[in-house]
A = this chain, B = another copy of it.
Amino acid sequence: MKINNMFASDNCSGVHPEIFKAMEQANRGYEISYGDDKYTGKAIKIFKEKFGGSVGVFFVLTGTAANVLSITAASNTYNSVICAETAHINVDECGAPEKFAGIKLQTIRTNSGKIVVSQIEKFLNQKGVEHHSQPKIISISEVTEYGTIYTPDEIKSLADFAHSNDMYLHMDGARLSNACAFLGCDLRELTGEAGVDILSFGGTKNGMMLGESVVIFNSDLNNNFKYIRKQGMQLFSKMRYISTQFVAFFNGDLWLKNAKHANEMAQVLAEKLSHLNIKITNKVEANAVFAIFPKHILKKIREKYFFYVWNEEHNEVRLMTSFNTEVKDIEKFASDLRNCLG
Protein backbone atom coordinates (compact mmCIF):
# COMPACT_ATOMS: atom_id res chain seq x y z
CA MET A 1 0.00 0.00 0.00
CA LYS A 2 1.26 3.43 -0.89
CA ILE A 3 2.05 5.58 2.09
CA ASN A 4 0.14 8.84 2.11
CA ASN A 5 2.38 11.94 2.12
CA MET A 6 -0.29 14.61 2.14
CA PHE A 7 0.51 15.92 5.60
CA ALA A 8 4.28 15.38 5.44
CA SER A 9 5.14 18.79 4.05
CA ASP A 10 3.71 21.54 1.92
CA ASN A 11 6.39 20.69 -0.63
CA CYS A 12 4.79 17.28 -1.25
CA SER A 13 2.04 19.02 -3.17
CA GLY A 14 2.29 19.54 -6.89
CA VAL A 15 2.02 22.73 -8.90
CA HIS A 16 -1.13 24.82 -8.90
CA PRO A 17 -2.91 24.48 -12.29
CA GLU A 18 -2.82 28.20 -13.02
CA ILE A 19 0.89 28.28 -12.42
CA PHE A 20 1.44 25.23 -14.54
CA LYS A 21 -0.55 26.82 -17.33
CA ALA A 22 1.66 29.90 -17.21
CA MET A 23 4.70 27.72 -17.73
CA GLU A 24 3.07 26.14 -20.71
CA GLN A 25 2.35 29.54 -22.19
CA ALA A 26 5.93 30.61 -21.69
CA ASN A 27 7.13 27.53 -23.53
CA ARG A 28 7.27 29.04 -26.96
CA GLY A 29 10.01 30.56 -29.02
CA TYR A 30 13.45 31.69 -28.03
CA GLU A 31 14.15 33.79 -24.97
CA ILE A 32 17.49 35.14 -23.98
CA SER A 33 18.80 33.26 -20.98
CA TYR A 34 19.90 34.22 -17.46
CA GLY A 35 17.12 36.70 -16.78
CA ASP A 36 17.09 39.21 -19.60
CA ASP A 37 13.86 37.75 -20.98
CA LYS A 38 10.44 39.40 -21.00
CA TYR A 39 8.91 37.13 -18.34
CA THR A 40 11.58 38.02 -15.83
CA GLY A 41 11.12 41.69 -16.55
CA LYS A 42 7.43 41.35 -15.86
CA ALA A 43 7.92 39.33 -12.70
CA ILE A 44 10.38 41.83 -11.27
CA LYS A 45 7.92 44.64 -12.01
CA ILE A 46 5.27 42.82 -9.97
CA PHE A 47 7.70 42.23 -7.09
CA LYS A 48 8.37 45.95 -7.03
CA GLU A 49 4.65 46.67 -6.87
CA LYS A 50 4.30 44.26 -3.99
CA PHE A 51 7.44 45.03 -2.02
CA GLY A 52 8.35 48.58 -3.02
CA GLY A 53 9.77 50.23 -6.08
CA SER A 54 13.35 50.33 -4.92
CA VAL A 55 13.81 46.71 -3.92
CA GLY A 56 16.34 44.44 -5.58
CA VAL A 57 14.84 41.15 -6.80
CA PHE A 58 16.80 38.00 -7.57
CA PHE A 59 15.34 34.60 -8.35
CA VAL A 60 17.11 31.51 -7.05
CA LEU A 61 16.41 27.80 -7.09
CA THR A 62 16.18 26.57 -3.53
CA GLY A 63 15.14 27.96 -0.18
CA THR A 64 18.52 27.00 1.22
CA ALA A 65 20.11 29.18 -1.43
CA ALA A 66 17.80 32.11 -0.75
CA ASN A 67 18.80 32.01 2.90
CA VAL A 68 22.48 31.36 2.46
CA LEU A 69 22.99 33.95 -0.26
CA SER A 70 21.02 36.53 1.74
CA ILE A 71 23.31 35.94 4.67
CA THR A 72 26.36 36.08 2.43
CA ALA A 73 25.28 39.45 1.06
CA ALA A 74 24.81 40.92 4.53
CA SER A 75 27.88 39.62 6.33
CA ASN A 76 31.59 39.15 6.40
CA THR A 77 33.02 35.79 7.35
CA TYR A 78 33.97 37.06 10.80
CA ASN A 79 30.37 37.90 11.59
CA SER A 80 27.75 35.92 13.44
CA VAL A 81 24.09 35.48 12.65
CA ILE A 82 21.66 35.34 15.57
CA CYS A 83 18.64 33.09 15.17
CA ALA A 84 16.31 30.72 16.98
CA GLU A 85 17.77 27.30 17.74
CA THR A 86 14.97 25.86 15.63
CA ALA A 87 15.65 28.07 12.61
CA HIS A 88 15.89 26.30 9.26
CA ILE A 89 19.29 27.93 8.72
CA ASN A 90 20.52 26.25 11.90
CA VAL A 91 18.89 22.87 11.61
CA ASP A 92 18.09 22.03 8.02
CA GLU A 93 20.76 23.36 5.68
CA CYS A 94 23.52 20.82 6.34
CA GLY A 95 25.81 23.63 7.47
CA ALA A 96 25.48 25.59 4.23
CA PRO A 97 25.46 29.00 5.98
CA GLU A 98 28.71 28.24 7.78
CA LYS A 99 30.35 26.74 4.69
CA PHE A 100 29.32 29.33 2.14
CA ALA A 101 29.10 32.54 4.15
CA GLY A 102 31.85 31.46 6.57
CA ILE A 103 29.86 32.87 9.49
CA LYS A 104 28.99 31.51 12.92
CA LEU A 105 25.39 30.94 13.95
CA GLN A 106 24.51 32.01 17.47
CA THR A 107 21.29 30.44 18.58
CA ILE A 108 18.56 31.22 21.04
CA ARG A 109 16.38 28.64 22.79
CA THR A 110 12.70 29.36 22.32
CA ASN A 111 9.38 27.71 23.00
CA SER A 112 7.56 28.88 19.93
CA GLY A 113 10.32 29.46 17.41
CA LYS A 114 10.08 33.23 17.91
CA ILE A 115 12.87 35.38 19.36
CA VAL A 116 12.72 38.75 21.11
CA VAL A 117 15.17 41.56 21.64
CA SER A 118 15.89 40.76 25.27
CA GLN A 119 17.34 37.41 24.19
CA ILE A 120 19.70 39.04 21.74
CA GLU A 121 21.29 41.69 23.90
CA LYS A 122 23.86 39.40 25.50
CA PHE A 123 25.47 38.67 22.15
CA LEU A 124 26.48 42.30 21.86
CA ASN A 125 28.94 41.95 24.74
CA GLN A 126 31.29 40.62 22.12
CA LYS A 127 31.16 43.67 19.87
CA GLY A 128 34.53 45.08 18.98
CA VAL A 129 36.56 42.27 20.52
CA GLU A 130 38.39 40.41 17.78
CA HIS A 131 38.42 37.05 19.56
CA HIS A 132 34.71 36.71 18.95
CA SER A 133 32.55 36.54 15.85
CA GLN A 134 30.85 39.91 15.44
CA PRO A 135 27.03 39.87 15.43
CA LYS A 136 25.81 41.34 12.14
CA ILE A 137 22.50 39.71 11.25
CA ILE A 138 19.36 38.82 13.14
CA SER A 139 17.55 36.15 11.17
CA ILE A 140 13.92 35.28 11.80
CA SER A 141 11.58 32.86 10.08
CA GLU A 142 8.14 34.19 9.18
CA VAL A 143 6.25 31.78 9.55
CA THR A 144 8.52 30.08 12.14
CA GLU A 145 9.40 26.42 12.01
CA TYR A 146 6.77 25.91 14.73
CA GLY A 147 4.05 27.47 12.62
CA THR A 148 3.91 30.63 14.71
CA ILE A 149 3.87 34.14 13.32
CA TYR A 150 5.56 37.45 14.19
CA THR A 151 3.30 40.49 14.17
CA PRO A 152 4.49 43.61 12.32
CA ASP A 153 5.27 45.22 15.68
CA GLU A 154 7.35 42.28 16.79
CA ILE A 155 9.32 42.47 13.56
CA LYS A 156 9.77 46.23 13.88
CA SER A 157 11.10 45.82 17.36
CA LEU A 158 13.74 43.38 16.15
CA ALA A 159 14.56 45.58 13.16
CA ASP A 160 14.98 48.67 15.32
CA PHE A 161 17.29 46.80 17.63
CA ALA A 162 19.29 45.48 14.70
CA HIS A 163 19.65 48.88 13.10
CA SER A 164 20.58 50.55 16.38
CA ASN A 165 23.41 48.10 16.66
CA ASP A 166 24.77 48.19 13.13
CA MET A 167 23.12 44.93 12.25
CA TYR A 168 20.72 43.75 9.56
CA LEU A 169 17.42 41.94 9.85
CA HIS A 170 17.01 38.93 7.57
CA MET A 171 13.70 37.16 7.16
CA ASP A 172 13.37 33.57 6.00
CA GLY A 173 10.01 33.93 4.28
CA ALA A 174 9.60 30.44 2.87
CA ARG A 175 6.04 30.63 4.20
CA LEU A 176 5.61 34.40 4.34
CA SER A 177 2.42 34.12 2.31
CA ASN A 178 0.82 32.16 5.14
CA ALA A 179 1.75 34.88 7.60
CA CYS A 180 0.12 37.53 5.39
CA ALA A 181 -2.99 35.38 5.17
CA PHE A 182 -3.14 34.93 8.93
CA LEU A 183 -2.49 38.55 9.86
CA GLY A 184 -4.38 40.17 7.03
CA CYS A 185 -1.25 42.13 6.18
CA ASP A 186 0.19 42.76 2.75
CA LEU A 187 3.71 41.67 1.93
CA ARG A 188 5.17 45.11 2.47
CA GLU A 189 3.84 45.52 6.00
CA LEU A 190 5.62 42.41 7.18
CA THR A 191 8.90 43.12 5.38
CA GLY A 192 10.21 46.45 4.14
CA GLU A 193 7.88 48.57 6.22
CA ALA A 194 8.69 46.58 9.33
CA GLY A 195 12.41 47.11 8.75
CA VAL A 196 13.48 43.87 7.09
CA ASP A 197 16.72 44.46 5.20
CA ILE A 198 16.81 41.30 3.14
CA LEU A 199 14.20 38.63 2.59
CA SER A 200 14.10 35.06 1.34
CA PHE A 201 10.69 34.81 -0.26
CA GLY A 202 9.51 31.42 -1.42
CA GLY A 203 6.79 30.21 -3.73
CA THR A 204 7.59 26.50 -3.83
CA LYS A 205 5.70 25.62 -0.65
CA ASN A 206 2.68 27.60 -1.84
CA GLY A 207 1.89 26.16 -5.25
CA MET A 208 4.90 26.80 -7.45
CA MET A 209 7.11 24.12 -9.00
CA LEU A 210 10.26 25.86 -7.98
CA GLY A 211 10.71 29.47 -7.30
CA GLU A 212 12.55 31.20 -4.54
CA SER A 213 13.67 34.77 -4.43
CA VAL A 214 15.84 37.19 -2.55
CA VAL A 215 14.23 40.59 -2.07
CA ILE A 216 16.62 43.31 -0.96
CA PHE A 217 15.16 46.33 0.83
CA ASN A 218 18.42 47.81 2.07
CA SER A 219 20.16 49.23 -0.96
CA ASP A 220 23.58 48.69 0.64
CA LEU A 221 23.12 44.99 -0.03
CA ASN A 222 21.92 45.30 -3.58
CA ASN A 223 24.84 46.10 -5.80
CA ASN A 224 26.78 42.91 -5.88
CA PHE A 225 24.12 40.32 -5.36
CA LYS A 226 24.17 39.17 -8.96
CA TYR A 227 27.74 37.97 -8.51
CA ILE A 228 26.87 36.23 -5.26
CA ARG A 229 24.00 34.43 -6.99
CA LYS A 230 26.17 33.28 -9.87
CA GLN A 231 29.07 32.19 -7.65
CA GLY A 232 26.45 30.54 -5.45
CA MET A 233 25.54 28.28 -8.38
CA GLN A 234 22.01 29.69 -8.54
CA LEU A 235 21.88 31.56 -11.84
CA PHE A 236 19.32 29.58 -13.82
CA SER A 237 19.69 29.72 -17.59
CA LYS A 238 16.08 29.31 -18.68
CA MET A 239 14.93 31.89 -16.19
CA ARG A 240 11.61 32.52 -17.91
CA TYR A 241 10.25 29.33 -16.36
CA ILE A 242 10.66 30.65 -12.84
CA SER A 243 9.59 34.17 -13.67
CA THR A 244 6.38 33.15 -15.37
CA GLN A 245 5.47 31.11 -12.32
CA PHE A 246 5.85 34.14 -10.10
CA VAL A 247 3.71 36.18 -12.48
CA ALA A 248 0.93 33.63 -12.19
CA PHE A 249 1.52 33.34 -8.45
CA PHE A 250 0.70 36.99 -7.97
CA ASN A 251 -2.02 37.14 -10.62
CA GLY A 252 -5.46 37.55 -9.04
CA ASP A 253 -3.80 37.12 -5.62
CA LEU A 254 -3.40 33.41 -6.14
CA TRP A 255 -0.51 33.44 -3.62
CA LEU A 256 -2.88 34.74 -0.94
CA LYS A 257 -5.76 32.43 -1.81
CA ASN A 258 -3.45 29.44 -1.67
CA ALA A 259 -2.04 30.50 1.67
CA LYS A 260 -5.43 31.24 3.16
CA HIS A 261 -6.69 27.87 2.12
CA ALA A 262 -3.71 26.08 3.60
CA ASN A 263 -4.12 27.98 6.87
CA GLU A 264 -7.82 27.16 7.05
CA MET A 265 -7.11 23.50 6.49
CA ALA A 266 -4.71 23.58 9.43
CA GLN A 267 -7.48 24.98 11.60
CA VAL A 268 -9.80 22.22 10.49
CA LEU A 269 -7.15 19.62 11.14
CA ALA A 270 -6.40 20.99 14.59
CA GLU A 271 -10.06 20.95 15.46
CA LYS A 272 -10.44 17.35 14.36
CA LEU A 273 -7.43 16.36 16.44
CA SER A 274 -8.80 18.16 19.47
CA HIS A 275 -12.00 16.25 19.14
CA LEU A 276 -9.90 13.11 19.40
CA ASN A 277 -8.34 14.51 22.58
CA ILE A 278 -4.99 14.86 20.89
CA LYS A 279 -2.95 17.64 22.40
CA ILE A 280 -1.94 20.54 20.15
CA THR A 281 1.44 21.89 21.30
CA ASN A 282 1.79 25.17 19.43
CA LYS A 283 -0.59 27.88 18.46
CA VAL A 284 -1.97 27.02 15.03
CA GLU A 285 -1.48 30.22 13.09
CA ALA A 286 -0.25 29.15 9.70
CA ASN A 287 -0.41 25.79 7.91
CA ALA A 288 1.31 23.62 10.50
CA VAL A 289 -0.16 21.64 13.35
CA PHE A 290 2.11 20.34 16.09
CA ALA A 291 0.59 17.68 18.30
CA ILE A 292 1.41 14.90 20.75
CA PHE A 293 0.41 11.50 19.43
CA PRO A 294 0.21 8.69 21.97
CA LYS A 295 3.04 6.30 21.23
CA HIS A 296 1.00 3.28 20.21
CA ILE A 297 -1.04 5.41 17.81
CA LEU A 298 2.02 6.97 16.30
CA LYS A 299 3.43 3.70 15.11
CA LYS A 300 0.13 2.55 13.70
CA ILE A 301 -0.91 5.72 11.89
CA ARG A 302 2.55 6.04 10.37
CA GLU A 303 1.99 2.78 8.56
CA LYS A 304 -0.55 4.68 6.46
CA TYR A 305 0.68 8.26 6.58
CA PHE A 306 4.19 9.59 6.45
CA PHE A 307 4.85 12.74 8.48
CA TYR A 308 7.69 14.01 10.62
CA VAL A 309 8.17 13.32 14.31
CA TRP A 310 9.50 16.64 15.55
CA ASN A 311 10.42 15.64 19.03
CA GLU A 312 11.13 11.93 19.52
CA GLU A 313 11.15 12.20 23.25
CA HIS A 314 7.68 13.68 23.51
CA ASN A 315 6.09 12.02 20.47
CA GLU A 316 5.46 15.44 19.07
CA VAL A 317 4.61 15.38 15.39
CA ARG A 318 4.29 18.00 12.70
CA LEU A 319 1.40 17.92 10.23
CA MET A 320 1.40 20.33 7.31
CA THR A 321 -1.45 21.42 5.10
CA SER A 322 -1.12 23.04 1.72
CA PHE A 323 -2.97 24.86 -1.05
CA ASN A 324 -4.53 21.62 -2.22
CA THR A 325 -5.42 19.95 1.06
CA GLU A 326 -9.10 19.03 1.04
CA VAL A 327 -11.49 18.75 3.95
CA LYS A 328 -12.31 15.18 2.96
CA ASP A 329 -8.60 14.28 3.24
CA ILE A 330 -8.57 15.59 6.77
CA GLU A 331 -11.74 13.75 7.61
CA LYS A 332 -10.29 10.52 6.28
CA PHE A 333 -7.15 11.10 8.34
CA ALA A 334 -9.19 11.80 11.47
CA SER A 335 -11.19 8.69 10.86
CA ASP A 336 -8.06 6.58 10.41
CA LEU A 337 -6.70 8.08 13.59
CA ARG A 338 -9.87 7.26 15.47
CA ASN A 339 -9.51 3.68 14.38
CA CYS A 340 -5.98 3.59 15.70
CA LEU A 341 -7.12 5.06 18.97
CA GLY A 342 -9.48 2.10 19.17
Which residues of chain A have a CB within 8 Å of any CB of chain B? Answer: 4-6, 8-9, 11-15, 20, 23-24, 26-34, 61-65, 68-69, 76-80, 91-96, 98-100, 102-105, 125, 130-134, 204-205, 209-210, 224, 226-238, 241, 306, 312
Closest to A88 in B: B131
> Smallest Cβ distance from A86 to chain B, in angstroms?
13
**Copy total for this chain:** 4
Are B102 and A99 within 8 A (Cβ)? yes
Are B33 and A24 within 8 A (Cβ)? no
Q: Which residues of the other chain, B, contact A228 by a CB distance below 8 angstroms?
A: 78
Are A236 and B210 within 8 A (Cβ)? yes
> Smallest Cβ distance from A114 to chain B, in angstroms?
21
Q: Which residues of the other chain, B, contact A64 by a CB distance below 8 angstroms?
A: 230, 233, 235
- A13 and B240 CA atoms in complex are apart in Å by 11
- A102 and B97 CA atoms in complex are apart in Å by 9
Are B233 and A62 within 8 A (Cβ)? yes
> Smallest Cβ distance from A38 to chain B, in angstroms?
9
- A130 and B229 CA atoms in complex are apart in Å by 9
> Smallest Cβ distance from A229 to chain B, in angstroms?
7
- A23 and B62 CA atoms in complex are apart in Å by 19
6 interchain pairs, CB-CB under 8 A: A78-B95, A78-B230, A95-B103, A95-B104, A98-B99, A99-B231
Q: Which residues of the other chain, B, contact A27 by a CB distance below 8 angstroms?
A: 14-15, 20
The residue from B30, B96, B209, B224 contacting A230, defined by CB atoms under 8 A apart: B96
Given A61-B61, A100-B100, 4 further pairs, Cβ under 8 A: A61-B234, A94-B131, A130-B226, A131-B230
> Smallest Cβ distance from A208 to chain B, in angstroms?
9
- A99 and B9 CA atoms in complex are apart in Å by 32
> Smallest Cβ distance from A261 to chain B, in angstroms?
16
> Smallest Cβ distance from A58 to chain B, in angstroms?
10
Are B94 and A306 within 8 A (Cβ)? no
Are A227 and B94 within 8 A (Cβ)? yes
Closest to A73 in B: B76
* A14, A20, A94, A210: most-surrounded residue (chain B CB, <10 A): A94
Are A241 and B209 within 8 A (Cβ)? yes
Contacts A92-B131, A224-B76, A227-B94 given; indicate if A28 touches B14 (C-beta within 8 A): yes
- A102 and B63 CA atoms in complex are apart in Å by 20
> Smallest Cβ distance from A127 to chain B, in angstroms?
11
- A78 and B24 CA atoms in complex are apart in Å by 35
Are B233 and A95 within 8 A (Cβ)? no
Q: Which residues of the other chain, B, contact A69 by a CB distance below 8 angstroms?
A: 233
Are B231 and A93 within 8 A (Cβ)? yes
> Smallest Cβ distance from A339 to chain B, in angstroms?
21
> Smallest Cβ distance from A210 to chain B, in angstroms?
6
